[in-house]
């Protein structure tokens, strides 16, 4: 923990636009070589020794003894582990699951086709992935919401087989994760193995765990590196770094709300990033005062203090255009628009995982009950990644049915392109069909 808790204010008003962008810079996800080395060693061990490696690493990293017989969590164990949970928690999980399902139902794609002017039928076939692996973190906290935010979109997309891995501590009674698993009606295979070894088992398969087609879900830097390392063996949702929020505040919103939302991000872990961009130096001071005051009272004050002192920033700029440019450069996971008319600036936002409009829209709603998945791109990757959604669990096949007229009319350009590229059999496959049709 730092000796003094602080969050730095940087006044950028005197800088040119280019200097501001250089100062703020892009957030980039990087992996230290020692992390990459450890991940590769564990992946290689799981590939060689399967279950034996899972048992060994679970003992080493989690201090838990498992066997091939206890690797999988039974339905009876899950039902027993949820005993003793508060009714309010069960109700909250149920509301969350229902709202996530309702949101994602709107996005399920349909097969489509059309007939062009030559009578060719062209279209697209949508097919759910057959088998998906979900990683749920453990350790510092329990994350039943991550199960809901990953499994429910997958089930809504039509995925039939789901395998869940999480550290053994996730299943100790009373277990909110087990409650969430039972609640969503998912007949998932559930395994008490976490970390890199859990990811590797999903990707490569072992004697007890069949490999999957895609791995989704949040995790620490080792889990993120493992997913990156195994991409190609399987698909992944994204390469994720530390969680982050950027709040644009024009001074019309209570600075306590800005401060508490910064802390809501900072309390995730010491590497979380909490940024505020404000148009007023006075407002920046108020946000800082409340941030430090609330941080001192936080039950997670040590984590919060480390996070905001190392990674927290309050930027002061002259105008909204500059604030929006900063947002698009950082491309944050969460973007809160705590401004008077947030919808008016929405068209100018190019890059963000989730956008929260107005003072009523705390990021916590998105984390738990709003509806969209809270699995979001971090580290500036919202420039090319999207939030987890039903499309994340589907693949698409093109449908091509040539009519006789279409076969003839398009044979010329097809054979010309084939000849230019030096692929004579491509051209012959078109010409031969014309000969057979005469």
- Active-site residues, by number, are 333-334
In whole angstroms, what is the distance from residue 352 CA to residue 380 CA? 8
- The vertex-316 CA angle with 313 and 321, nearest 5°, equals 115
Question: Long-range contacts: 294-298, Cβ < 8 Å, 24+?
Answer: 294/256, 294/259, 294/260, 294/263, 295/5, 295/263, 295/266, 296/5, 298/263, 298/267
Name the CA radius of gyration of the chain, rounded. 25
Number of helices (H) and strands (E), helices first, in the chain? 18, 14
> How is residue 73 annotated by DSSP?
P
Contact between residue 152 and residue 104 where contact means Cβ atoms under 8 Å apart: yes
End-to-end Cα separation, the chain, in angstroms: 83
3 state DSSP class of 257: helix
Nearest to 177 by CA among 210, 133, 211, 141: 141
Q: Pairing relation of β-strands 273-278 and 313-316? A: parallel
- H-helix or E-strand containing 100? helix 87-105
Cβ contacts of residue 268 below 8 Å, gap of 6+?
A: 242, 243, 303, 307
In whole angstroms, what is the distance from residue 323 CA to residue 338 CA? 12
Q: Distances in Å between the alpha carbon of 55 and those of 48, 65, 196?
A: 13, 7, 13
In whole angstroms, what is the distance from residue 292 CA to residue 398 CA? 56
Write out the DSSP string of 155-212.
HHHT--EEEEEE-GGGGSSS-HHHHHHHHTT---EEEE--HHHHHHHHHH--SSS---
What is the 3-class SS of 36-64, one letter each residue? HHHHHHHHHHHHHHCHHHHHHHHHHHHCC
């Amino acid at each position: 923990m730092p000796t003094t808790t602080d969050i730095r204010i940087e006044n950028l008003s005197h800088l040119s636009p280019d200097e501001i962008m250089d100062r703020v810079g892009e957030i980039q996800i990087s992996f230290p070589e020692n992390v990459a080395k450890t991940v590769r060693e564990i992946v290689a061990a799981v590939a060689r020794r399967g279950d034996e490696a899972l048992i060994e690493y679970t003992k080493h990293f989690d201090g838990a003894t498992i066997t091939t017989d206890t690797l999988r969590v039974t339905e009876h164990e899950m039902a027993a582990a949820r005993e003793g949970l508060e009714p309010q928690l069960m109700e909250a999980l149920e509301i969350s699951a229902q709202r996530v399902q309702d949101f994602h139902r709107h996005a399920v794609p349909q097969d489509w086709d059309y007939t062009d002017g030559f009578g060719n039928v062209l279209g697209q076939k949508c097919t759910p992935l057959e088998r998906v692996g979900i990683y749920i973190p453990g350790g510092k906290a329990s994350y039943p919401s991550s199960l809901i935010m990953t499994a429910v979109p997958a089930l809504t997309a039509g995925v039939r087989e789901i395998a869940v891995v999480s550290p053994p501590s996730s299943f100790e009674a009373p277990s909110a994760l087990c409650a969430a698993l039972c609640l969503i009606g998912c007949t998932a295979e559930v395994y008490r193995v976490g970390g890199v070894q859990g990811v590797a088992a999903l990707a490569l398969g072992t004697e007890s765990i069949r490999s999957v087609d895609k791995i989704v879900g949040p995790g620490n830097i080792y889990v993120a590196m493992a997913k990156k390392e195994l991409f190609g063996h399987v698909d992944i949702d994204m390469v994720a770094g530390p969680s982050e929020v950027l709040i644009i505040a024009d001074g019309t919103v209570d600075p306590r709300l800005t401060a508490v939302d910064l802390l809501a991000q900072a309390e995730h872990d010491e590497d979380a990033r909490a940024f505020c961009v404000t148009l007023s130096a006075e407002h920046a001071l108020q946000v800082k005062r409340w941030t430090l005051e609330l941080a001192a009272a936080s039950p997670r004050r040590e984590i919060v203090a480390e996070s905001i002192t190392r990674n927290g920033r309050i930027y002061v700029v002259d105008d909204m255009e500059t604030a929006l440019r900063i947002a698009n450069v950082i491309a944050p996971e969460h973007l809160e628009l705590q401004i008077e008319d947030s919808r008016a600036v929405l068209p100018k936002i190019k890059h963000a995982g989730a956008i929260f409009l107005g003072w009523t829209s705390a990021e916590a709603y998105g984390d738990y009950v709003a509806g969209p998945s809270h699995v979001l791109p971090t580290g500036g990757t919202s420039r090319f990644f999207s939030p987890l959604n039903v499309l994340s669990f589907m693949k698409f096949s093109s449908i091509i049915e040539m009519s006789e007229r279409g076969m003839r009319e398009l044979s010329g350009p097809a054979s010309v392109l084939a000849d230019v590229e030096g692929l004579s059999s491509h051209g012959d496959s078109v010409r031969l069909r014309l000969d057979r049709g005469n």
